[in-house]
A = this chain, B = another copy of it.
Amino acid sequence: MKDYVITLMDEKKYVQARKELIELNAVDIAEILEEIDTNNALLLFRILPKDVAVDVFANLSNENQKYIINAITDKEIQYIMDELFFDDMIDILEEMPAIIVKKIIKNTKEEERRLINQFLKYPSNSAGSLMTIEYVGLQKEMTVKQSMEYIKKIGIDKETIYTCYVMAENRKLEGIVSLRKLVVSDDHKTVEEIMEKGVIYVNTYEDQEEIAHVFKKYDFIAVPVVDKEERLIGIITIDDIVDVIEQENTEDFHKMAAMEPSEEEYLETSVFTLARKRIFWLMALMISAIFTGSIIKRFEDVLQSVVALAVFMPMLMGTGGNAGAQSSTLIIRGMALDEIELKDVFKVIWKEFRVSSLVGIILSLVNFIRLYYFQSVDIKISMTVCTTLFIVVVLAKVVGGTLPIVARSLKLDPAIMASPMITTIVDAVSLFVYFSIATRFLGIA
């Protein structure tokens, strides 16, 4: 399709290209524009029907949005900004450089400019930064018939008309009524008779993670946002929350791999930024691994006398690290999904103890058979390795399962207690256990 459109553009068959494009969803049109050269893209953008152009604009990359804003007239900018839903406009303004923001704001009305400034002040990742103001507001005295006539008049400009918000004169939220309820109710009933009073809402300063939980729990498609006096300020719709959910998950993935989280796409991030997000934790973990090395140094003479012990160090440290990572991942994920809470810590410890004992016995037995029967390793060394393996697996899983909960209780993000951190701790402990047992079993002074 893209190639067909490009061919049509090259042949200057603009009307035909436009005809092809408008059959598609705005998201797909934006994708095509992203991939063709900027001159043709600008041309195509200009000949699209105005309302389609606005939707397409909202879906372009920031780069292309900048390019287009720089290239079109002030009047065209004003049209786009007027038609965009408020939250999309705020998103765009947050990403544009100051000179483009000035150009855009120059072309918006005074009242809207004040609102924009207010919204840009909300902390990123808060309800205030996600919400939009294009909701349907009704009064409880209105009849169903009056409400439907009102919605018919103004509905096309609203982000959603499917949930309507009933406000008192001071804008205090009194209830909500779904469009479905309005459609199926008798014309003469009042909004007050059919609305739901127990409204679930969020505050402007609440974090997006909290809001995502509300959506997931109640299966809402929109949630009202109120200020400290419970006055309705705006609404957040489900499509924005789906993006938030993925963002929060990506953040967890990054933190659990010992990186500063990044919101940019990988291929669009500079080498320098990628390095900067990785170096801190790599350095910190490297330095703590030095502590592990000092344990080996302390037992250097043990190693000197039985160098064969070194052969099993990777297997012990690796298995301990993997076992610990399994536990910590399950607990971190369980806490993120609200399935595990702080008060469950003893249940978790007891569960991990039993699971690790079971797993540890199996691994130790398999290993013992491998070492003693297949590789004819000295019985004392085999015993040392396998006993250590069992202890390491149990310790790793109990520690791996508990540390994220400890982190949460200290108001830290549990995700930092993931594989890299757990592995470093478990490495140190395993080696200490290993050499201590070796000293005893092998009768080394």
Contacts and interface: CB of A to CB of B under 8 A. Distances in A.
Interface of A: 23-25, 27, 148, 151-152, 155-156, 161-162, 179-180, 183-184, 197-198, 200, 215-219, 221, 238-239, 241-243, 245-246, 249-250, 252-254, 256-259, 265-267, 271-272, 274-275, 278-279, 281-283, 285-286, 289-290, 292-294, 296-297, 300, 303-304, 307-308, 310-315, 317-319, 321-323, 325-326, 328-334, 337, 339-340, 344, 347-348, 351, 354-355, 358-359, 362-363, 366-367, 370, 393, 419-420, 423-424, 427-428, 431
Please tell me how many copies of the chain the complex holds: 2
B198 A24 contact: yes
Contacts of A25: 198, 200, 218
A321 B339 CA distance: 30
A323 B285 CA distance: 10
Nearest to A375: B290
Contact of A281 (B246, B310, B322): B322
A91 B328 CA distance: 30
Contacts of A321: 321, 420, 423
Contact of A293 (B148, B217, B241, B311): B311
Contacts of A258: 322, 325-326
15 contacts: A148-B183, A254-B329, A258-B325, A259-B326, A266-B331, A267-B351, A272-B358, A278-B355, A279-B362, A282-B323, A290-B370, A293-B311, A303-B303, A310-B313, A318-B424
A140 B416 CA distance: 56
A261 to B, nearest CB: 11
A267 B355 contact: no
Contacts of A180: 155-156, 161-162
Nearest to A351: B271
B215 A355 contact: no
